[in-house]
Chains A and B, each alone.
Chain A
Amino acid sequence: DQQVKQNSPSLSVQEGRISILNCDYTNSMFDYFLWYKKYPAEGPTFLISISSIKDKNEDGRFTVFLNKSAKHLSLHIVPSQPGDSAVYFCAASALNLNTGTASKLTFGTGTRLQVTL
């Protein structure tokens, strides 16, 4: 049961254009969402996050939008650069009522972004 879904395995975008990566989730208990970027032979690195009390968070060229009613979030990269070529993972967490922590992340399967010249 894939609770976090990234339905596009790959995306190709021209340099300078906007990249839009999408993510859907099914668990309404998720209250914190993150995007990670992964290069080959490296571990994922944190990119940007958003709390469920917000609908938008921006950090430089990266903006994450959250639509709670649709259980959908998206990552916008503007303008896209060749160095952005990587696999992007969407992740979500929910408060563990037993431990009082939210340290378990549920990841999507990733979208491979290729930014072409």
Chain B
Amino acid sequence: KAGVTQTPRYLIKTRGQQVTLSCSPISGHRSVSWYQQTPGQGLQFLFEYFSETQRNKGNFPGRFSGRQFSNSRSEMNVSTLELGDSALYLCASMKRGGLPSTGELFFGEGSRLTVL
């Protein structure tokens, strides 16, 4: 069974540009969440999509947005990039609607964004 796939794995952008990251969840998983990992802050929740609707949202500015398609694939977009946006962006998928359960959140390997 294929895992969560994220593309691209690495990318470099400059300040002011925008970026789109893609995530393909595990087949059959309808929930997709995005997290930002930075050295000082750990993993921080960006947002979650379920059945093409944003269901949960973290405390990030409006420059961070996302969407989910009918096949459950998801994209996140960051506009007007800032140096502080440099991070590992992790996507996670989940089969059912939510926890609790035995750790149903499956993570991809992440997209590492560097903003120069």
What is the CA–CA distance of A107 and B46 in the complex, to the nearest angstrom? Answer: 12
A44-B90, A107-B43, A108-B42 as given contacts; A102 in contact with B100, CB under 8 Å = yes
Q: How far is the CB of A62 from chain B (nearest CB, A)?
A: 12
Question: Would A102 and B103 count as touching, CB distance under 8 A?
Answer: no
Question: Would B97 and A106 count as touching, CB distance under 8 A?
Answer: no
Report the interface size class on chain B.
20 to 34
Report the tally of A-B residue pairs with Cβ distances under 8 A.
88
Q: How far is the CB of A109 from chain B (nearest CB, A)?
A: 4
Give the number of chain A interface residues (Cβ < 8 Å).
Answer: 31
Contacts of B33 in A (CB 8 A): 103-105
Name which of A6, A105, A108, A110 has the most chain B CB atoms within 10 A of its CB.
Answer: A105
Q: Which residues of B contact A (CB under 8 A)?
A: 4, 31, 33, 35, 40-45, 48, 50, 55-56, 58, 90, 92, 94, 97-110
